[in-house]
């Protein structure tokens, strides 16, 4: 089991293990050595970061490790995570590394690694990198030749032109848009690309100071953007997270649109244009049952995966599907991007709105969500759920009663001593009843 790498790279509190300059230097050396084992020539790695104060510290240490092993390092400065994925591929780099903790506060940071194809590094290579990082001692570099670090001053412009290609030259003239950049990695390219495509843009959360990333702005705090949508009569609001790979939308009435509704309306629009591969959407088990029902009316299949955009992408690649995402705001249009991309997703949604002539609120009526209850319960231990008689009885009763008119999802948190309970049903009373029954059984048994 991986000690450092989670489902989205390595993450933690900056300047505390493992997000320290010492570990970052080892990561640089480890990545270079793994690449050397695959190819014998000199390696080129692109490094991007978000706007956290700790980003430069980690970038310096990481670069030093790579350079000591003879690698050429390309530094982009603050730029979205999907931009690093794109540049890794377009610059023919051997790897790409993004320094970010996504929607977490400035005190955190993290390290995401992409392979030469722009996709997140696979498990086998992560294990090789981790093995070297955790070694008690690192032998001196086998090649005395040092690498170098070079700035890529036009990195934002390169990404901007790439993102524009997602809507194939269409313009956004006539649309008024509010964009909240979370004082993060999208603060420059997000508003700029909308302006260049002709939209009228109202911007907030675009003054990063190293400490304010995600603070009271962005995808976790859409209230300010919603207010500006109403005050300015905007068509919609766009709220990015700290590294701009996730996006939340607000309709013209100032209402936050659920990620499931965005997935649904986008899948329908793609199918109507003959662009939805195998007429299938990939989403996680956290998506509402109403999504399944709405898609079936349009003869669109729904495939579900474990929680995490990485699992969604793996299913998309294995099944040759080109659209998927999470209801948390990760949208993956794989015809254009190799990871979730909040800015590309926003451009595609805006083009759907303009082409359809409908508002976001109208398009979002494509599905009706089942009432749901979602509770996290602190527990003392984590025994297999079906080995606890009271919990098993309550779960079986819920499944038998709800049938295909509802569902339950009961699982332990992967990072905390908590039991997460989700119950959905066509009738709100049924969802409340069965959620309460499972909670009471868990409280009596393991809480």
Around Cβ 63, how many Cβ atoms within 10 Å?
A: 23
**In contact, 10 and 4? CB cutoff 8 Å:** yes
- List, as one string, the DSSP characters of 140-199: PPS-----EEEE-TTHHHHHHHHHHGGGTT---TT-EEEEE-TTSTTTTHHHHHHHHTT-
Q: How far apart are CA 290 and CA 306, in angstroms?
A: 18
Q: Does the annotation count 413 as an active-site position?
A: no
Helices (H) and strands (E) counted in the chain, each on its own, are 14, 18
Q: How far apart are CA 31 and CA 98, in angstroms?
A: 13
Quick one: 319 exposed, middle or buried, by C-beta within 10 A (0-12, 13-18, 19+)?
middle
Q: How far apart are CA 48 and CA 372, in angstroms?
A: 39
Angle at 281 between CA 280 and CA 286, to 5 degrees: 145
Question: Catalytic: which of 64, 102, 266, 445?
Answer: 102
Catalytic residues: 102
């Amino acid at each position: 089991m991986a000690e450092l790498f989670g489902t989205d790279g390595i993450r933690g509190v900056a300047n505390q293990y493992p997000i320290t300059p010492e570990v970052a230097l080892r990561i640089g050396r480890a990545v270079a050595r793994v690449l050397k084992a695959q190819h014998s020539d000199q390696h080129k790695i692109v490094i991007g970061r978000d706007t956290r104060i700790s980003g430069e510290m980690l970038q310096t240490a990481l670069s030093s490790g790579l350079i000591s092993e003879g690698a050429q390092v390309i530094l982009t400065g603050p730029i979205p995570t999907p931009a690093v994925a794109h540049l890794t591929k377009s610059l023919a780099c051997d790897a790409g590394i993004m320094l970010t903790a996504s929607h977490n506060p400035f005190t955190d940071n993290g390290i995401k690694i992409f392979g030469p194809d722009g996709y997140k590094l696979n498990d086998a290579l992560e294990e090789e990198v981790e093995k070297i990082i955790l070694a008690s001692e690192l032998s001196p570099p086998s090649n005395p030749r040092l690498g170098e670090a070079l700035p890529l001053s036009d990195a934002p412009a390169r990404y901007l032109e790439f993102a524009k290609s997602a809507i194939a030259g269409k313009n956004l003239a006539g649309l008024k848009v509010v964009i909240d950049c979370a004082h993060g990695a999208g603060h420059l390219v997000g508003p700029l690309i909308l302006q260049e495509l002709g939209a009228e843009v109202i911007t907030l959360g675009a003054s990063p100071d190293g400490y304010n990333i995600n603070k009271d702005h962005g995808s976790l705090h859409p209230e300010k953007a919603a207010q500006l949508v109403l005050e300015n009569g905007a068509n919609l609001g766009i709220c990015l997270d700290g590294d701009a790979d996730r996006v939340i939308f607000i309709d013209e009435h100032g209402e936050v649109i659920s990620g499931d509704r965005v997935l649904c309306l986008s899948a329908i629009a793609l199918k109507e244009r003959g662009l939805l591969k195998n007429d299938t959407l990939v989403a996680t088990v956290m998506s509402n049952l109403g999504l399944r029902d709405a898609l079936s009316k349009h003869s669109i299949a729904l495939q579900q995966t474990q929680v995490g955009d990485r699992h969604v992408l793996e299913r998309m690649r294995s099944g040759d599907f080109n659209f998927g995402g999470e209801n948390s705001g990760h949208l993956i249009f794989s015809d254009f991007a190799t990871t979730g991309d909040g800015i590309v997703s926003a451009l595609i949604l805006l083009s759907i709105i303009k082409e359809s002539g409908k508002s976001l609120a109208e398009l979002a009526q494509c599905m009706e969500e089942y009432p749901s209850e979602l509770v996290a319960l602190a527990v003392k231990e984590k025994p297999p759920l079906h080995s606890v008689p009271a919990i098993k009885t309550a779960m079986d009763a819920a499944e038998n009663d709800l049938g295909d008119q509802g569902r339950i999802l009961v699982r332990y948190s992967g990072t905390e001593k908590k039991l997460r309970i989700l119950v959905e049903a066509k009738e709100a009373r049924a969802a409340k009843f069965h959620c309460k029954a499972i909670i009471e059984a868990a409280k009596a048994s393991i809480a």
